[in-house]
Structure 1
Amino acid sequence: MTIDKTVLRDAATVIILRNRAGNPSILMGQRGAAAAFMPRKFVFPGGAVDGTDALVPLAAPMGALCRARLAEGCPPMLDHALAAAAIRELWEETGFVLGRRGDWPGTPPQDWRGFAATGHVPSAEALQFVFRAITPPGRPRRFDARFFLAEAERITGDPDDFSRAGDELSHLQWVPLADARDFDLPFITEVVLAEIAARLHDPGPPADVPFYRHDDEESHFLRLHGYPKPAGR
């Protein structure tokens, strides 16, 4: 039996949904041909959690139910780091801000200085935790990825202005949800899009969160409920 010893990294991915009630679209970009992970694929903005993400102040947290579901089987405070990572990756790859006007308490970490210079403190109140997936074994990089959904109306500024975007994703664009499968997508992205499409009528958090878990020998499909813990535990 071969054991996959590739380091599994926590990661956050952001699905920005625009015009939910009309002709809904989602924000996507293309990874480079030389990328070690999912080259040439169209993906949502996202990436691995950095060490400083757990220390970044949030002007407002995610809702309690989403935090409870993120916490299932995870170390303490990982929910905070994941929310911060989602906001940071969105900023780095698209130039979009999810935050509130305000001053940072102290000096921002290096990776957050550009965000702080916009005059905003990151805010996670617009994020909904909607999906979790672990990359299958045998890949050059493996991630335990949490997918967050946010409405485009919660972005600060012009949603058609990509002038502050980094260079990790090219061809940034709003893709009509009905046309998304015409693009070259990773399998798990197709699964997530199906979940989003099925819930367009309901803007609230899902009844539970799908979790695709791939171990060394088999895969599991689980559901995260975020039930409150019994009193005294």
Structure 2
Amino acid sequence: MTVLRDAATIIVLRDAATRPAVLMGQRGASMAFMPGKFVFPGGAVDPNDSRIPLPDLSPRDHARLQADSALAPDSLAAAAIRELWEETGQILGAPAQWPDPPQGWRGFAATGHRPNGAALQFFFRAVTPVGAPRRFDARFFLANAADLVTDPDDFTRAEDELANLQWVALDQARSFDLPFITQVVLAELMGHIRRGGDLADVPFFRNDDEAHLVSRLGGRSPL
């Protein structure tokens, strides 16, 4: 049986008021999970992510991340920021000295920043369907490109897990080879932008109950 792993994904939104675009990259053709697909930066939560306190994470998101989860909210949010750094070279942080970062965070700390939890908004949650070669319980976080402390067009510090890093305009996203769940998240994002940024609740795409495939974290009723 495939083990279900906790994961974090980050949607970085740019130019929301004019022509919205999101940061995406392409997975390698030889990868076992979603080969060749364009995805948001993200990956499995690392044990050392639990050593990253994020006191500036909003109380509302803290509560929503705790729902149906055994993992600390700070660990999930920290993983999203770490994955963004590793896969794109982009920093979502605040200037600060960090003399004793845990393994996996030393490169981030060397830039002179600590992660900025206040820049994150818990946006979506999805579980990979049964039968996939790898399964994740992924939390999607939304961030504004204006909160990046790096040049949003500079990917020179990115690791090589994602190729073709680029800003994908939402009105062109359908022309890319996207996983189904990414299409669902982008549709939710477009609705979020049309509503002026209101996020009354967080969709949870459970993939374990056909009658109630999507529930709402922080909402009043399931779909």
Give 3-state SS (helix, strand or coil) of 1:110's partner: coil
> Residues 97 and 155 of structure 1 are in contact (CA less than 8 Å); yes or no, is this contact kept in structure 2?
yes
Quickly say closer, same or farther: Cα 1:44–1:31, change in 2 above 3 A.
same
Letter in structure 2 aligned against 1:132: R
Larger CA Rg, structure 1 vs 2: 1
Aligned partners of 1:208, 1:182: CA distance in 2, in Å?
A: 29
Q: Offset at 1:220? A: 2.0
Taking the TM superposition and a 5 Å limit, the aligned residue runs for 1:187-198 are 187-198=180-191
Q: Deviations over 1:26-78 (max 9, x none)?
A: 100000011111000000000000001011243x4221111111111212x52
Taking the TM superposition and a 5 Å limit, the aligned residue runs for 1:124-163 are 124-163=117-156
Aligned partners of 2:121, 2:210: CA distance in 1, in Å?
A: 31
> Residues 126 and 204 of structure 2 are in contact (CA less than 8 Å); yes or no, is this contact kept in structure 1?
yes
Structure 2 stretches lacking a partner, 5+ long: none
Structure 1 vs Structure 2 CA RMSD: 1.7
Q: Deviations over 1:180-204 (max 9, x none)?
A: 1110000000000000011114554
Taking the TM superposition and a 5 Å limit, the aligned residue runs for 1:51-200 are 51-58=47-54, 60-75=55-70, 78-104=72-98, 106-200=99-193
Structure 1 stretches lacking a partner, 5+ long: 228-233
Aligned partners of 2:150, 2:116: CA distance in 1, in Å?
A: 15
Match of 1:231 in 2: none
Q: How many residues of Structure 1 are paired with residues of Structure 2 in the alignment?
A: 220
Give the alignment's TM-score, normalised by structure 2.
Answer: 0.93
Give the alignment's TM-score, normalised by structure 1.
Answer: 0.90
In terms of fraction of residues, the more helix-rich structure is 2
Aligned partners of 2:33, 2:212: CA distance in 1, in Å?
A: 20
Aligned partners of 1:88, 1:200: CA distance in 2, in Å?
A: 26
